[in-house]
Structure 1
């Protein structure tokens, strides 16, 4: 969903997935009929591995994604904006909990997922490795990054794995409120003073290429897309999601008097596909592999949070017998 992912061997894993041809045939027939696969059902190893990779990456993205916006809670303009942003960040962390729970049904513990994130073994969305310099950056994230996420998540909520679909249905309901909040913030800046409009335009200029990266590499080079769509884990390809996002939001951006920083951007009337300047995919690879502007900073914040919360987890997990009952 977000590009990148854990390392796997397509050849070896495909062999493992086809070890039992009869079960595989029955499994694929269920998916074709539109049935949901549940944790207790038989599934190919590759299906399980790809789901874990995708869901935990999504969960990590929700946790890390709360950080650039979270830094603006105390600096948001006005009390209502502060309250709204605080509620939004709280929602994003809650989304991560839903997703970790869905991934745990596939056999990987939440503790292992968190450890893999902090050790740099698991990836998360490229777009959360950029700094939010101004309030307009936070507004861009709340509107357009969440808009891109909804494009992905609405499609995948119709997918084949039950726990993931049910988590996405709830997440999309809450994200729709985030979208309205972000849109309202952007409207306020884009129709405000010259300084406010300039600030919003500069944020759009900074974030446009990361936003184009957000949906993942082109279908022709994507490692995971084919198998994910075959088993209806992903319901739309990277390019389809990117095109849908442009369809929905380019008119809204232009309507606000903002300029999209791509002189080649146009919709081909014959193919109904958007044409645009191809983003630098080498930059995407660097960021997704840990060499972006804020990768180290974002993981460092999470490591500190993990360390500070350790005593709480230990206290919750201790058997009751270890506690001394107070005297009456």
Structure 2
């Protein structure tokens, strides 16, 4: 996450010093050998804490990420688009449940995770705090946000924690269908009427900065990446994922005759790396910390859903108990 570098480094040093050095060395040797860590295995408390934070935030991102697209189900153009989008949104919510289950194996109850989300204590991806004004916005999310997610998730599915890796393998299989659906939607608009092409171009103009933020802060300022990569929770750095995404999708975007709002975006012929304008990391920090265009709206929707579903959870957990309806 962004910021707090000195305090995190101090906390990390203290946490590792407090661990049994023999157990820590064997733990890291297992990871170096490519073995999976399972819930019953010994692990450093910092590994448990960082992994819980990462998986929990991923779960929150899946369930919040369903909201901007979900608002377009009733307005999607045509019955087939409605069915496809409805299935996609249902998949995203299912991904969240898989990830909450993986996070629970580390000791944090799902109810506590959801409470932390609604209260603003836990974070989720910055990109889901922007409004989807048009159908083209929904198409951008379905194609490129899911594409970015796949870049991250395929890499991390080869990581060190077994339950998370197994969840990611299943999620990536479903995300590949989402990607094809989104790509088809974008092609349809980009090769359509003048109005459709303009609508798609405007969506790219709006979403490109959040998309560049999506992979997280530059490696130069990222706080958590070093320890996560050392323990193979993350298998690629933020900048590596961003470069891979650009390499895979910028040519496809240009092939459709669409432009991107960055005059500096180009591929260096000597290094093979993409050059681009450095994103505004202060905006990223504001959004990730709850001050984005739709942060309050997104959490309000989740809060209402949690309150309305309370009777279902109560009935499942205590089926013989008499339900008492909340006062109006």
TM over 0.5: yes
Q: Secondary structure at the match of 1:121?
A: coil
Give RMSD over aligned pairs: 1.6
For 1:242, the equivalent position in structure 2 comes to 242
CA displacement at 1:4 relative to structure 2: 5.0
Instruction: Judge conservation of contact 1:5–1:53 (CA < 8 Å) in 2.
Output: no
TM-score under structure 2 length normalisation: 0.95
CA displacement at 1:261 relative to structure 2: 1.0
For 1:17, the equivalent position in structure 2 comes to 16
**1:220, 1:4 → 2: CA distance?**
11
**2:10, 2:261 → 1: CA distance?**
41
For 1:32, the equivalent position in structure 2 comes to 32
Matched, 1:179 2:179: yes
Q: 1:271-321: CA deviations, max 9, x gaps?
A: 22110011111110000000000000000000000000011111111154x
Matched, 1:92 2:105: no
**1:123, 1:12 → 2: CA distance?**
20
**1:153, 1:55 → 2: CA distance?**
11
**2:52, 2:35 → 1: CA distance?**
20
For 1:326, the equivalent position in structure 2 comes to none
CA displacement at 1:6 relative to structure 2: 11
Instruction: Judge conservation of contact 2:4–2:223 (CA < 8 Å) in 1.
Output: no
For 1:289, the equivalent position in structure 2 comes to 289
CA displacement at 1:5 relative to structure 2: 9.9
Q: In structure 2, do the counterparts of structure 1 residues 77 and 256 end up closer, same or farther at CA, with 3 Å as the change threshold?
A: same
**Equivalence map 1:1-328=2 (5 Å):** 3-4=1-2, 9-18=8-17, 19-318=19-318, 320=320, 322=321
**1:31, 1:54 → 2: CA distance?**
18
**1:241, 1:136 → 2: CA distance?**
25
Say how many residue pairs are matched.
Answer: 321
Q: Secondary structure at the match of 1:209?
A: helix
Q: Which runs of 5+ in 1 are unaligned?
A: 324-328
**1:243, 1:124 → 2: CA distance?**
22
Instruction: Judge conservation of contact 1:141–1:182 (CA < 8 Å) in 2.
Output: yes
Runs of 4+ in 1 over 3 A off after TM superposition: 3-10
TM-score under structure 1 length normalisation: 0.95
**1:14, 1:214 → 2: CA distance?**
28
Q: Which runs of 5+ in 2 are unaligned?
A: 323-328
